[in-house]
């Protein structure tokens, strides 16, 4: 699937959330994705930082995009495990999430990623790994 097919798939399957996220790129060899998220007032938690659930949503969606870009529109692919480290508290504004497929197995897909404020990739706000089960 290319970017516009992916964005349409998101809009259809996740109508409540898709408009929050913009797919920036998928790698030509189909092994990763980069997604943009504009964190505003409603995504914050006490301390004026982006809430954990919104960080998780960004990570999960970016990993899902990476999976879809390789496997095609398999809406039934499900996350089976996530481990996430929240390292630095991002301010509101533009957040990016980069996900990379580390293993594309017959049954499981393992993905690694980072969330960072635009322009600060080296000082990531979070790192995560996710496992998806193929249907």
Q: List residues binding a second copy (CB under 8 A).
A: 13-14, 16-17, 42, 45-47, 49, 51-54, 56-57, 60, 75-76, 78-89, 102-103, 105, 107-108, 110, 112, 124, 127, 129, 131, 133
Shortest Cβ 105–a second copy spacing (Å): 8
Nearer to a second copy, 117 or 124 (CB): 124
DSSP three-state, residue 121:
coil
Shortest Cβ 19–a second copy spacing (Å): 13
- Please report the beta strands in 30-125, taking only residues with DSSP state E, as ranges in sequence order: 32-39, 44-45, 49-50, 78-86, 93-104, 108-117
| Angstrom distance (rounded) from CA 31 to CA 70 | 7
């Amino acid at each position: 699937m290319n970017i516009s097919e992916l964005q349409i798939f998101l809009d259809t399957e996740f109508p409540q959330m898709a408009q929050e996220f913009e797919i920036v790129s998928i790698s030509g060899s189909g092994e990763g994705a980069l997604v943009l998220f504009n964190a505003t007032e409603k995504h914050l938690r006490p301390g004026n930082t982006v809430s954990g659930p919104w960080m998780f949503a960004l990570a999960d969606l970016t990993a899902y995009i990476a999976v879809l870009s390789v496997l095609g529109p398999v809406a039934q692919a499900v996350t089976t495990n996530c481990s996430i480290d929240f390292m630095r508290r991002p301010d509101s504004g533009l957040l990016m999430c980069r996900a990379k497929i580390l293993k594309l197995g017959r049954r499981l897909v393992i993905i690694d990623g980072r969330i960072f404020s635009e322009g600060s990739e080296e000082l990531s706000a979070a790192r995560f790994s996710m496992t998806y089960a193929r249907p």
